[in-house]
Structure 1
Amino acid sequence: MAQEVTNYARFYTLLNRIPYRGDKEDLKCSLVSEFSHGRTCSLKEITRQEYSAMCAAMERMTPAQEQWKEERRQARSVCLKLMQQTGVDTTDWDTVNRFCMSPKIAGVEFRELDIEDLGRLSSKLRMILKKQKDKQH
């Protein structure tokens, strides 16, 4: 059987949004198996129809899209404010991205951070601010 689906961005975006405490790889295999009726655990072997049905079901499992966008917007705002307090010029996206690309900070550009990443970033930024404050005293 020829591979029917070649772009899995929709699936992985939804997979990362599903609140799940276990191994995401196990969840992926479970979802693919369920929607392929036990035929496979591999996304490469799933039909376009199975893929569409699976993604639609995953969309129903994720928090409401608008709620997610608002939570992400708020988390981004908190991080940008904290970056500004640490001395990063947040009016320049290149500067923000260079700062975030540091492996010690996030290792990816700011726009690629999800809500969990933004939470970790805000914790790191608060630690940086605390260290800066402790040096001043």
Structure 2
Amino acid sequence: MQEVTNFARFYSILKRVPKIGDDEFFKKEMVYIATGGRTESLKAITRKEYDALCDLLEKRFPEKRDIYVGQRRKKRSCCLKLLQKIGVDTTSWPAINDYCKSPKIAGKVFAELDIEELQQLSKKLRMILKKKEE
């Protein structure tokens, strides 16, 4: 089963690197290195390998990390506001994490969610709010 379905973080880093962003060979080579020679395909990469690859690229190109962190911060803020509207005590991290750990919500603690997972969480929380209002 494909663990990573959204490669936005990877491509957003590469897009901002001159001459590398369009180089298919470089992309395949980076995936090959990140997977220890297992594959050249992003579709076959595990979540752990994908995160390690993106972390490596962000260290190599640090200004890209700042952009990712800013985007993630905005998504986290949005989710926290939605959680507050639902009735979760957003002043308590254990309360937030308990709510998010539910397999029906996010399946992991809030701090471990990446941008893609925060987008999915946001959609779920909006649906919950909509059902609550009806």
TM-score range, shorter chain: 0.5 to 0.7
Gaps (5+ residues) in structure 2?
A: 1-6, 13-25, 39-52
Gaps (5+ residues) in structure 1?
A: 1-14, 21-26, 43-53
RMSD: 3.3
CA separation of 1:32 and 1:129: change in aligned 2, threshold 3 A: closer
Asked whether the equivalents of residues 29 and 41 of structure 1 are also in contact (C-alpha less than 8 Å), the reply is no
Q: How many residues align?
A: 99
Rounded to whole Å, the distance in 1 between the matches of 2:55 and 2:104 is: 37
1:131 paired with 2:131, answer yes
- Output the TM-score relative to the length of structure 1: 0.60
Rounded to whole Å, the distance in 1 between the matches of 2:130 and 2:103 is: 20
Asked whether the equivalents of residues 98 and 109 of structure 1 are also in contact (C-alpha less than 8 Å), the reply is yes
| Structure-to-structure mapping, 1:15-54, within 5 angstroms | 17-19=9-11, 30-31=29-30, 33=32, 41-42=37-38
Asked whether the equivalents of residues 17 and 62 of structure 1 are also in contact (C-alpha less than 8 Å), the reply is no
- Output the TM-score relative to the length of structure 2: 0.61
Residue identity opposite 2:30 in structure 1: L
Which of 1 and 2 has greater Rg? 1
CA separation of 1:100 and 1:128: change in aligned 2, threshold 3 A: same
Rounded to whole Å, the distance in 2 between the matches of 1:105 and 1:88 is: 13
Task: Find runs of 4+ consecutive structure 1 residues off by over 3 angstroms.
Answer: 27-30, 54-57, 59-63
| Structure-to-structure mapping, 1:1-137, within 5 angstroms | 17-19=9-11, 30-31=29-30, 33=32, 41-42=37-38, 58-59=57-58, 64-134=64-134
Shift of 1:31: 2.4
CA separation of 1:127 and 1:57: change in aligned 2, threshold 3 A: closer
